[in-house]
Amino acid sequence: MENILGFEIPLVIFILLPAITSFLLIGIERLLKVSVTKKVISHLVALTASLLDLTLAILFGMELLKSPSSNPLITETTILVLRADLTSGFFIFIFTLIHAAVCIYSINYMHEHNDLAHFYAILFAVVTGLNLIVLVNDYFTMFVAWEGMVLCAYAMVGFYRSRESSEAGFKYLMMSSAGSLLYLFGVAFLYGIAGTLKFDELTLLDPLTESSILYIAILCMIIGFGVTAAIFFLNTWLPDAHPAAPPPAHAMLSGIIVIGGTYGILRVIFTVIPVNMAEIGGTFQGSVWSNLLIILGILTSLQGNIYALIQFMRKDPQARNLKRIFAFSTISHMGYLITGLGAGNILGIGGTLFHALNHAAAKGVLFMITGYLIYSTGSYYLDHYKGLGRRDPLIGICFTIGLFSLASIPLTGGFWSKLMIILGLFNNKNPIIGISAGLLTLFITFFAAVGYLWLIWYLVMKESDQDEKYIIKFDAMTLNNSGFMKLSIVSLTIFVLILGFFPTVIVNFAIKAASALFP
């Protein structure tokens, strides 16, 4: 397939480019001795490669969108078979967008760290794993890619090598490994029943009439992916990982790693569950699996919002951690994605894809602002940021826009994507389940919006009390060295605004990608 510049973008470039960059950065760390030179070259390599990766992803997505055929692209290499459809292109765009923003942001935030090149190498390794996950054509290769991504994410969480980061990283590794093991069991059961693990071959199989083992296989795979997708009570690793990881990694964790789990569940819906159709009534929508995902999604959203509320209500200011609040917010939004998948129709699936992008961008803005505040004040407690909008109006505006999108305020991207999910639920084959789930999702959205608006009032609009012992003034010297951090925050905030005011192109992409998944 040729892009608008007239040359073909091979699928393998989305694997090779970040992988080679990761190894190059490791070489820079090992071979160069002069610290300043090493850091400058690391910044240049990471910035150039991440922006090139994003540019290629945009060009690739544009050509997929313009293509008259919705058939996936298949590329066979000597090692593996790569497969890309509109859904793969959509996720690759999300991964490369957030990754590029994080690389720009890290030029300031991580500059003083001695292991800067290693940090960049880990980020590129994570993106390599995520891109491979969405481009493979079979479930075993996906398992290999998944394990590689998990190990790299573990290194990212535990990067500081402190006791807190080591414990959080180990917890993430153990839970993710348990999920991966369950997923591998499901893959083994699936191969024993179907005789193949390839996506295109699974979709051509006739539905099985007696498939009790297939139920176990599907359940194992959903739970396995669900650990990374932070679904109901499989998400305890996430609130611990955020306070421990470097702030630039937060946007990666909440923006793209968790939605990798959502992608896995999406593939199961359209490649494995159809083999079970004869048992569940002929269609996914309204089936036992559809209802299960809707219930899991709603419970996940409720859990995230309730736990975030508990953080708000803590009396000790030292216990109100903004990172943990946003981590629980991520759990809540993963619930929306799972609920949208459970809707099982084009509106619900399209809304899920669109909301994955909205959440990644808005949460990326908020976590990068949180890192900026930590960089400026030396603290990550909620009360220390009181009066943010008055002390730094630009950051206060970006913070407000990010929260508006998460709160689904009209004319924001979050509003349009949640509206699509709710309408998808209302159009569910089972009207009782669909309408009930839609109304519950609407209630949860309103409940969450109150919390987000309170954050805006408390941190942006409320005047800080300089006599209060928990207020910390911004360090002027560090503020003067934060240009790239602000550039990344403002750029991503502008993108969030575009998603709200001009959503047509992305909505069309998401709807077309969702439509292509249905036979």
Q: Could you list the pLDDT tens digit for every one of the 519 residues in the chain?
A: 444 445 567 888 999 999 999 999 988 888 877 677 788 888 899 999 999 999 999 999 888 888 765 677 777 766 788 888 899 999 999 999 999 999 999 988 887 777 888 899 999 999 999 999 999 989 999 999 999 999 998 888 888 888 878 888 888 888 988 999 999 999 999 888 888 888 888 877 766 655 778 888 889 999 999 998 888 888 888 888 877 788 888 888 888 899 999 999 999 888 887 765 544 445 677 778 888 999 999 999 999 999 888 887 777 666 677 888 888 999 999 999 999 999 888 899 999 999 999 999 999 999 999 888 887 777 777 777 777 777 788 888 999 999 999 999 999 999 999 999 999 999 888 888 889 999 999 999 998 998 899 888 888 887 765 445 444 455 554 555 678 888 999 999 999 999 999 999 999 999 998 888 876
Lookup: tokens for 411: 């004319």
Which DSSP string corresponds to 118-140? HHHHHHHHHHHHHHHHHHBSBHH
Q: What sections of 378-412 are H helices per DSSP?
A: 388-391, 393-406
Tokens 């709603």 belong to which residue? 298
pLDDT at 473: 53
314: number of Cβ within 10 Å: 12
| CA–CA distance, 61 with 110 (Å, rounded to integer) | 31
CA 477 from centre of chain: 33
Looking at residue 275, its pLDDT comes to 60
Burial of 207 (0-12, 13-18, 19+ CB in 10 A): middle
pLDDT at position 102 is 94
In 3D, which of 365, 349, 216 has the Cα closest to residue 284? 349
Integer Cα distance of 471 and 487 in angstroms: 26
DSSP state of 271: I
Percent of the chain as helix, strand, coil, to the nearest 5: 75, 5, 20
Interatomic CA distance for residues 263 and 435, integer angstroms: 25
Q: What is the pLDDT of residue 132?
A: 94
What are the angstrom distances between the C-alpha of 267 and each of 8, 112, 349, 422?
Answer: 26, 41, 12, 21
For residue 463, what is the DSSP state? Answer: P
* Torsion sign, CA atoms 43, 367, 180, 425: negative
- Which strand (E) or helix (H) includes residue 73? strand 73-76
pLDDT of residue 478: 54
| Contact assessment for residue 407 and residue 359, using Cβ atoms and an 8 Å cutoff | no
Residue 500: CA count within 13 A, CB half-sphere:
23
Question: Do residues 26 and 121 make contact, with C-beta atoms less than 8 angstroms apart?
Answer: yes
- Per-residue confidence (pLDDT) for residue 165, from 0 to 100: 81
Q: pLDDT at position 62, please?
A: 86
Supply the pLDDT for residue 73: 75
Q: What CA–CA distance (Å, rounded) separates 162 from 157?
A: 10
Task: Tell me the one-letter amino acid at 404.
Answer: F
Residue 450 CA to residue 465 CA, distance in Å, equals 24
Query: Do the Cβ atoms of 66 and 58 come closer than 8 Å?
Result: no
> Are 9 and 82 contacting, i.e. CB atoms less than 8 angstroms apart?
no
Report CA torsion sign: 77, 82, 85, 86: negative
Residue with tokens 């959440």: 359
Cα(103)–Cα(124) distance, rounded to whole angstroms?
10
- Amino acid present at 482: S
The number of beta carbons lying within 10 Å of the beta carbon of residue 185 is 17
Can you read off the two tokens belonging to residue 515?
């439509």
What does the alpha-carbon distance between residue 227 and residue 10 come to, in Å, rounded to a whole number?
Answer: 32
CA 475/CA 301 separation, integer angstroms: 37
Within 8 A by CB and 6+ apart from 483, the residues are 108
Helix or strand or coil: residue 161? Answer: coil
